[in-house]
């Protein structure tokens, strides 16, 4: 029961901190918010709610990128024009 209370408290703190304007935050404030969010994630992860979030995100990722991951090189080869180059000059600028 204590974990749920700490988790709820951290969630309220995160929402409260994120409501502030970006310009009003210092770097320390932003770093502290990141640490609090990480702690919140660690507390939520083993709970049924955390597992549900993980499952939903996993399904979204599978739906968005089905099959095997594609390497960046393969992705570039698929989108290259028929001539085999992307129109960039070879040999540097001005040649």
Q: Is residue 10 part of a domain?
A: yes
CB 89 within 8 A of CB 95: yes
Residue 4 lies in a domain: yes
Give how many domains the chain has, as a whole number.
1
Within a domain: 75:
no
Neighbours of 50 (CB within 10 A): 15
Domain for residue 12, yes or no? yes
- Asked if residue 79 belongs to a domain, the reply is no
- pLDDT for the residue numbered 6: 83
Give residue-wise pLDDT tens across range 61-88: 887 666 655 555 555 555 555 555 555 5
pLDDT, mean of residues 46-52: 89
Domain of 42 in residue numbering reads as: 1-51
């Amino acid at each position: 029961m204590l974990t749920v209370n700490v988790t709820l408290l951290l969630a309220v703190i995160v929402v409260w901190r994120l409501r502030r304007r970006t310009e009003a935050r210092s770097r320390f404030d932003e770093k502290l918010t990141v640490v609090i969010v990480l702690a919140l994630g660690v507390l939520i992860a083993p709970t049924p709610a955390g597992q549900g979030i993980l499952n939903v995100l996993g399904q979204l990722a599978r739906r968005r990128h089905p099959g095997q991951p594609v390497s960046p090189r393969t992705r570039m080869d698929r989108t290259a024009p028929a001539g085999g180059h992307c129109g960039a000059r070879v040999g540097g600028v001005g040649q």
